[in-house]
Structure 1
Amino acid sequence: MSRWEPDARGRLLRATIELFSEHGYDATTAAQIAAHAGLTKTTLFRHFADKREILFQGQDALIAGAVAGVVGAPADATPGELVRAGIASLCAAHSDDLRDVGRLLDPLLAATPELRERATFKRSAITEALTGALVTRLGDVRQAGLLADTGVRAYYEGYAAWMLGDGSGTLTDSVTEELAAYESASRRLHDDPGQVRPS
């Protein structure tokens, strides 16, 4: 077993990725996944509602991390500091082996409409939770929504760049760099709206 499958959930994750990669999503059954992981189908369904959810088992931790970052930020934090705290905490919720898992998982998502749909829901859920935490701190729904949308976009783009990179740098570094680029673009637009024109 690899170091990212120390328990039943990890073993099921590895088995799911391997079988989906080899046979495809539709041709793989929950029973096959359980057997490949050396577990029973009952154990699989004790942890997950269906085979698709095995690939998205980290969603709750990511949401909790994003919210905790905003909630735990200093009382005098600026709106920008709040979203940065939320995104940094979201990144910290990942395990060290995320890069390896992501490189295996992303092709499966790209090839399977049902998995892409579920991934879209995951992104939406993270954005919604981050928005709610920011609304609580800022009292401004529109500002919170813009900040959350920008922060989550930076997270996903930073994650993609980090995952496909050469192994140097951390996920947090990559996401922070993306977020800073968006903040810079926003300042330029605010300072001189006329300079940003469609091509």
Structure 2
Amino acid sequence: MSRWEPNTRERLLDAALDLFGERGYDSVTVAEITERAGLTKRTFFRHFSDKREVLFAGQELLSRIFAEAIADAPASATPMEAIAAALTAATAPFGPQRRERARQVKAVVAGHRDLHERELLKLATLRAAMADALRARGVPDPTAGLAAEIGGLAFTTGFARWIAPGSERAFTELVREALDELVAATTTLG
């Protein structure tokens, strides 16, 4: 086992996804993931609390990106303009090289109820980060909560389109398109 090599988290995720694809999520152990990655169990647990969390790495980073982009939006920005800034800032981790990995993660999550529940919790945490950042800008409720919900829905809609079979469009384009569609739809609600 190697003591240190770069990209430890990436290696663990790659090993986990390979094994999940080969044998199914339930049949894979942390020991097998670390063996495939050429790392130790101790190293694994420095990065993740359990094998489920390998699939949800990056949540804290996305929450921070959302909050910082909303905070950094111009003072004159409307709540939806601040949400648009957050969604645009958060697209950096979603480059074309990550699309196939995202498809693999989604396939594993879709097949397991507990993983789907964890995904919903992750999305709720991201929406809460946006709402809290809007409130910190002085946006009152329910406006802050509604804007964050629309932002969260735009994020998940854009993501689903980005990982769809045959999709080649950039995540940034898809998430902004989804946000525009949702904002337009709100005007038809009455």
Q: Same fold (TM over 0.5)?
A: yes
- For 1:27, the aligned partner's letter is S
Q: Quick one: distance in 1 between partners of 2:156 and 2:57?
A: 17
Q: 1:102 — aligned with what?
A: 102
Q: Quick one: distance in 2 between partners of 1:30 and 1:123?
A: 25
Q: 1:1-199 to 2 correspondence within 5 Å? A: 7-164=7-164, 166-189=166-189, 193=190
- For 1:61, the aligned partner's letter is L
1:105: Cα distance to partner? 1.2
Q: Quick one: distance in 1 between partners of 2:19 and 2:91?
A: 28
CA 1:117–1:34 in structure 2 vs 1: closer, same or farther (change >3 Å)?
same
Q: Quick one: distance in 2 between partners of 1:100 and 1:168?
A: 11
Name stretches of at least 5 consecutive residues in structure 2 with no aligned partner: 1-5
Query: 1:126-146: CA deviations, max 9, x gaps?
Result: 011111001111330210100
- For 2:82, the aligned partner's letter is L
Any conservation in 1 of the 2:95–2:170 contact (CA below 8 Å)? no
Higher relative contact order (CA 8 A, sep 6+): 2
Name stretches of at least 5 consecutive residues in structure 1 with no aligned partner: 1-5, 194-199
1:188: Cα distance to partner? 2.3
Q: What's the C-alpha RMSD, in Å, of the aligned pairs? A: 1.7
The ranges of structure 1 where at least 4 consecutive aligned residues each deviate by more than 3 angstroms after the TM superposition are 93-96, 165-168
1:95: Cα distance to partner? 4.6
Identity across aligned pairs (percent)? 37
Aligned residues: 186
